[in-house]
Amino acid sequence: MIAAKIPKNQADYVRRILLKYSFIDREFKIKRTDTHVLIPLNKEPSEEILAEIGAHLDVVDESFDVQKKNPRSMREYLKGRIEPGKIDEINKSFDIIGDVVILEIPDEFESIKYLIADAALKFTKRRSVYRKGSKVKGIKRTRSLEFLAGEDISETIHKEYGSKFMLDVRKVYFSPRLATEREKIVRQVEDDEIILDMFAGVGPFSISIAREHMVRIYAVDINSDAIHYLKKNIELNKVKGEIIPILADVKEFLKNSDVEADRIIMNLPGMACKFLADAISSLKRGGILHYYEFSSDFEVPVARIREAAGSREVTILDKKRVKSSSPGRWHMGIDAKIH
Ligand X SMILES: C[S@@+](CC[C@H](N)C(=O)[O-])C[C@H]1O[C@@H](n2cnc3c(N)ncnc32)[C@H](O)[C@@H]1O
CB of 200 to ligand X, least distance (A): 5
Q: Per CB under 6 A, does 141 bind ligand X?
A: yes
Q: Which long-range contacts (CB under 8 A, 24 or more apart) does 44-47 make?
A: 44/2, 45/4, 45/18, 45/21
The helices-and-strands tally (H runs, E runs) of the chain is 11, 17
- What region, left, alpha or beta, does residue 4 occupy, with left being phi > 0 and alpha being psi -120 to 50 degrees? beta
Contact between residue 135 and residue 143 where contact means Cβ atoms under 8 Å apart: yes
- What region, left, alpha or beta, does residue 70 occupy, with left being phi > 0 and alpha being psi -120 to 50 degrees? beta
Give Dmax over CA atoms of the chain in angstroms. Answer: 94
CA–CA dist 232, 155 (Å, integer): 12
CA–CA dist 320, 335 (Å, integer): 9
Size of the site for ligand X (CB under 6 A): 21
- Pick 36 or 184: Cβ nearer ligand X: 184
CB of 265 to ligand X, least distance (A): 7
Q: Per CB under 6 A, does 301 bind ligand X?
A: no
Binding mask 165-184 for ligand X (x = CB under 6 A): --------xx---x------
Of 98-106, 151-159, 197-205, 229-237, the segment contacting ligand X by CB under 6 A is: 197-205
CA–CA dist 199, 92 (Å, integer): 27
Residue 5, amino acid: K
Of 30-38, 111-119, 139-147, 314-322, the segment contacting ligand X by CB under 6 A is: 139-147
Q: Per CB under 6 A, does 3 bind ligand X?
A: no
Of 4-12, 39-47, 81-89, 134-142, the segment contacting ligand X by CB under 6 A is: 134-142
Contact between residue 202 and residue 165 where contact means Cβ atoms under 8 Å apart: yes
Helix (H) or strand (E) holding 256: none
CB of 224 to ligand X, least distance (A): 9
Helices 224-236 and 204-212 cross at an angle (nearest 10°) of 20
Q: Per CB under 6 A, does 139 bind ligand X?
A: yes
Binding mask 216-255 for ligand X (x = CB under 6 A): ----xxxx--x----------------------xxx----
CB of 290 to ligand X, least distance (A): 10
Q: Per CB under 6 A, does 38 bind ligand X?
A: no
CB of 293 to ligand X, least distance (A): 12
Q: Per CB under 6 A, does 39 bind ligand X?
A: no
Contact between residue 196 and residue 175 where contact means Cβ atoms under 8 Å apart: no
In the complex, which residues of this chain contact ligand X (CB under 6 A)? 139-141, 173-174, 178, 199-201, 204-205, 220-223, 226, 249-251, 267-268
